[in-house]
Amino acid sequence: MFKKIYKEIKKYNTIVIARHIGVDPDALSSQLALKESIKLTFPNKKVYAIGNGSTKFSYMGKLDKLEEYDNFLLIVLDTPDKKRIDYKNYNNAKSIIKIDHHPFIESFGGIEYIDDKACSTCEILMELLLKTKLKCNEEIAKLLYCGLVSDSNRFLFDSCTSKTFSLVSTYLDKYHLTLSNIYTSLYLRPLKEVRLEGYISLNMKVTDNGVAYIILTNDIITKFKADSASAGNMINNFNFIDEILVWIIVTEDYKNDNVRVNIRSRGPEINKIAEKYNGGGHALASGARLSSINEAESLISDIDYATEIYIKKESFKNEN
Ligand code: AMP
């Protein structure tokens, strides 16, 4: 399959690389890394990495302005369904390649490489670059490492396998990355966000089934001088709390007139519930977008019920 992807890339002079809406480090760095790799391998090709960026990730590199493209190959990274592609004109592409690590939702009708066992899209690209003639350098390796570390939450998830570590080991050997620089870029954050995290810790509610949740209205976000994405970015920091099995942050996003939801779990699968609320994601890491804050109650109650069932099933298994 990697050879097929390489051949398709070789065929086109114009290549557009897109990814999911609501940019995150794996989506963005996989996009920028693949762009640089194609340009390094084929200097005469026109390659564009497109979509809405975020100043928070500006250290990774710049995205290209949206243009009218002609006779182009579209590569969609880290996106399982068409409605989440951060590029509305995907139908204009002559050919499509999808590379993703989310559970399968729908086909895009072209070449598809989906490995939902991979910890990140960057992990898949690490393999693609090693197994084809696509070139790599230190900058590209750094981007790939950055996305992989971020999406695996620093190698904490079960999706990190011996293959992940083997790929990382190969890249570290070959490109001599300075890890402390990468971690500083990824994890440095303003004090106001730490204070907001303190507020969440103090004020989140926890149900009898161990579902923690907090609803952050625009007033609270404004009080901490944070933005609507800040709380969601710290969702992983609430892992490994003994009394909490599933945790949910609901944030009012005034600017975009919707409500962001970030959900994480250490047991019950949450992505099917997230799908019911205009969301989706991985079994234990999902997100959703609500049209109003009133919907949050029903989402929390669905998750709480699923958690209750999960706990019952687990205790039944342990008793037998
Ligand atoms: P987040 O909580 O934003 O870090 O997202 C966790 C996972 O859920 C990622 O794989 C996202 O791509 C996915 N996700 C987040 N929001 C949505 C959404 N509204 N619809 C579908 N998937 C989502």
Measured CA to CA, the distance from residue 110 to residue 295 in angstroms comes to 36
Q: Which numbered atom of ligand 1 lies nearest the CA of 235?
A: 2
pLDDT score, position 317: 86
Q: What is the pTM of this model?
A: 0.93
pLDDT score, position 11: 98
The ranges of the chain annotated as CATH 3.10.310.30 are 191-319
Written as one letter, the residue type at 248 is: I
Measured CA to CA, the distance from residue 85 to residue 141 in angstroms comes to 25
Mean of pLDDT values over 152-181: 95
Mean of pLDDT values over 262-290: 96
Mean of pLDDT values over 100-127: 97
Sequence-ordered list of residues with C-beta below 8 angstroms from that of 306, at least 6 positions apart, any chain: 268, 269, 270, 273
Which residues contact ligand 1 via a Cβ below 6 A?
A: 20, 22, 24, 84, 102, 232, 235, 262, 278-282, 285-289
CATH 3.10.310.30 given to domain 191-319? yes
Under the banding of pLDDT at 50, 70 and 90, the label for residue 318 is confident
Q: Whose CA is nearest to atom 22 of ligand 1?
A: 280
Q: Which structure tokens are listed for 194?
A: 């730490």
pLDDT score, position 90: 96
SS3 content of the chain, % helix, strand, coil (to 5): 45, 20, 35
Measured CA to CA, the distance from residue 68 to residue 183 in angstroms comes to 37
Q: Which structure tokens are listed for 176?
A: 């001599």
Measured CA to CA, the distance from residue 175 to residue 167 in angstroms comes to 12
pLDDT score, position 245: 98
Closest CA to 78 of 289, 285, 303: 285
pLDDT beyond 90 at 57? yes
For 178-194, letters b (16+ CB in 10 Å) and e give eeeebeeebeeeeeebe
Measured CA to CA, the distance from residue 243 to residue 211 in angstroms comes to 9
pLDDT score, position 40: 98
Beta strand 46-49 with 73-77 is unpaired
pLDDT score, position 146: 97
Measured CA to CA, the distance from residue 264 to residue 235 in angstroms comes to 7
Please check whether residue 213 is in contact with residue 250, taking contact to mean a CB–CB distance below 8 angstroms.
Answer: yes
Closest CA to 114 of 125, 99, 127: 99
pLDDT score, position 157: 92
Q: Which structure tokens are listed for 256?
A: 């975009």
The ranges of the chain annotated as CATH 3.90.1640.10 are 2-186
- The share of the chain scoring above pLDDT 90, in percent, equals 94
Written as one letter, the residue type at 175 is: Y
pLDDT score, position 319: 85
Mean of pLDDT values over 256-278: 96
Under the banding of pLDDT at 50, 70 and 90, the label for residue 70 is very high
- For ligand 1, the distance from its centroid to the CA atom of residue 287, given in whole angstroms, is 4
pLDDT score, position 256: 87
Mean of pLDDT values over 61-72: 95
> What is the dotted CATH code of the domain comprising 2-186?
3.90.1640.10
pLDDT score, position 320: 78
Q: For ligand 1, pick from 81, 286, 291, 299 the residue to mutate: most ligand atoms within 8 Å of CB.
A: 286
pLDDT score, position 198: 98
Measured CA to CA, the distance from residue 284 to residue 157 in angstroms comes to 9
